[in-house]
Copies of this chain bind each other. A is one copy, B any other.
Amino acid sequence: MFQINQHYLQLGESYLFSTIAGKVEHFRAAHPDADIIRLGIGDVTMPLTPAVISALHGAVDEMGVKESFRGYGPEQGYAFLREAIAETDFQKRGIGISPGEIFVSDGSKSDTGNIGDILGEGNLVAITDPVYPVYLDTTLMRIGKSDRIRLLRCSEENGFLPELPEERVDMVYLCYPNNPTGTVMTREELTKWVDWALENESLILFDAAYEAFIRDEAIPRSIFEIEGARRCAIEFRSFSKSAGFTGLRCSYTVVPRELKAITAGGGEVSLHHLWNRRQSTKFNGTPYIIQRAAEAVYTPQGQQEMQEMIDSYMQNAMVIRKGLMANGYTVFGGEHSPYIWLKCPDGLDSWRFFDRLLEECHIVGTPGSGFGEAGEGYFRLTAFNSAERTAEAIGRIARRSSTR
């Protein structure tokens, strides 16, 4: 009989957020009148901004007229968007990334998963713990449970920043500002990793999906701000959280041309070339109208609207952070990130605290243990709900705390 990829059988039965959705449905069925506030999944709630909506309408109109209709576009993305990205996100910040190094895609989830296609199965892979589940699950899908996966433990002791691996590893997934812990890497910290990668000829897969939430200019928003990163890193960026594109689907991946690997035959091969081959063979580009929407984010109006949206979410993050601290919680993140990582009170484990928060306060969060063993005993809240609902949620927690 035909065979399946056996590695899939080693995966957990269901993706974290599906499990949470099931629990919430169960609770809702039992308590139909409960006013549930969702601070769980990292989904935005504010609508697309006027600049984006206007660009979408304009592009839709173009698609309805023969003269301006667009069929297949370049698999790598349209030049108008790649140029806008390169200019605003990199060149204006003094980072030398060219449009040709940018691959527009339909989401960082796709790209951080699919990047494995071009990498060898023999690599020793380091992944932080706790971690965004996609890195680990897609690695498991590709190479199976094996001694080639190393978990880099992040804990209160190391400020939720991984230490350099003691042994040689071939590639590492880093995500900063971090999901789920909300922590950031300073320039010094990130430089340490780039230097390590160059010395060890290792590859850094850098997920910068939350860079727009950084409030301090001294903290790097791109790994390519660090000297030498062009020779050891791939960076993933997304419009999902910064511009509210979770339902619109647009992201991009930067593969610098200097990034090379050595083939089994001893030759040099560019990862830019491999990723281009992967994308042009297995992907047909992001929809034209979506790329026009992303382009609109880079107009002066689009930039201002995006900033206001981010400011508003970061105001929520502050409300959560301060509210929790005022009620005796130990809290991390939330300063340069929409994620607040808290230590579960009363020695509760993550799922017990999930249940308590849902039952007592009707608030949905995400259990830290869902992000890995090292997340056990912690819990993630997100700043993506409205100001009113966020304040209401923190009010409920405060009232519960005061009656304990």
Interface string of A106-139 (1 = CB under 8 A from B): 1101100110011111110000000001100110
Kindly specify which of A1-9, A27-35, A371-379 makes contact with the partner chain: A1-9
Interface string of A61-84 (1 = CB under 8 A from B): 101111001111100000000000
Kindly specify which of A38-46, A159-167, A218-226 makes contact with the partner chain: A38-46
Taking a contact as CB atoms under 8 Å apart, the answer to whether A109 and B283 are in contact is: yes
Nearest opposing residue in chain B for A136, CB measure: B281
| A97 CB to nearest chain B CB (Å) | 21
Taking a contact as CB atoms under 8 Å apart, the answer to whether B282 and A110 are in contact is: yes
With an 8 A cutoff between CB atoms, is A348 at the interface?
A: no
Interface string of A244-275 (1 = CB under 8 A from B): 10111100000000000111110001010010
Taking a contact as CB atoms under 8 Å apart, the answer to whether B110 and A284 are in contact is: yes
With A4-B269, A249-B287, A274-B5 as known contacts, state yes or no: A114 contacts B282, CB within 8 Å: yes
Taking a contact as CB atoms under 8 Å apart, the answer to whether A247 and B71 are in contact is: yes
Taking a contact as CB atoms under 8 Å apart, the answer to whether B69 and A171 are in contact is: no
With an 8 A cutoff between CB atoms, is A141 at the interface?
A: yes
With an 8 A cutoff between CB atoms, is A367 at the interface?
A: no
Residues of B within 8 A of A56 (CB): 60, 63, 289
Measured CA separation A290–B109 after assembly (Å): 19
| A283 CB to nearest chain B CB (Å) | 6
| A59 CB to nearest chain B CB (Å) | 9
Cβ-closest 8 pairs across A and B: A3-B120, A113-B282, A1-B201, A2-B170, A53-B64, A71-B246, A43-B71, A47-B69
| A109 CB to nearest chain B CB (Å) | 5
Residues of B within 8 A of A49 (CB): 64
Measured CA separation A3–B121 after assembly (Å): 8
Q: Other CB < 8 Å A-B pairs besides A106-B106, A289-B289, 13 of them?
A: A2-B119, A3-B120, A8-B118, A9-B263, A15-B277, A41-B72, A47-B65, A109-B284, A134-B281, A134-B282, A246-B284, A248-B289, A249-B286
With an 8 A cutoff between CB atoms, is A24 at the interface?
A: no
With A2-B202, A261-B2 as known contacts, state yes or no: A69 contacts B247, CB within 8 Å: yes
| A388 CB to nearest chain B CB (Å) | 11
With an 8 A cutoff between CB atoms, is A11 at the interface?
A: yes
Taking a contact as CB atoms under 8 Å apart, the answer to whether B73 and A1 are in contact is: no
A247 partner, pick from B72, B119, B137, beta carbons under 8 A: B72
With an 8 A cutoff between CB atoms, is A150 at the interface?
A: no
Nearest opposing residue in chain B for A142, CB measure: B117
| A231 CB to nearest chain B CB (Å) | 12
Nearest opposing residue in chain B for A41, CB measure: B72
With an 8 A cutoff between CB atoms, is A186 at the interface?
A: no
Residues of B within 8 A of A2 (CB): 119-120, 123, 170-171, 201-203, 261
Measured CA separation A110–B264 after assembly (Å): 28
With an 8 A cutoff between CB atoms, is A180 at the interface?
A: no
Taking a contact as CB atoms under 8 Å apart, the answer to whether A288 and B247 are in contact is: yes
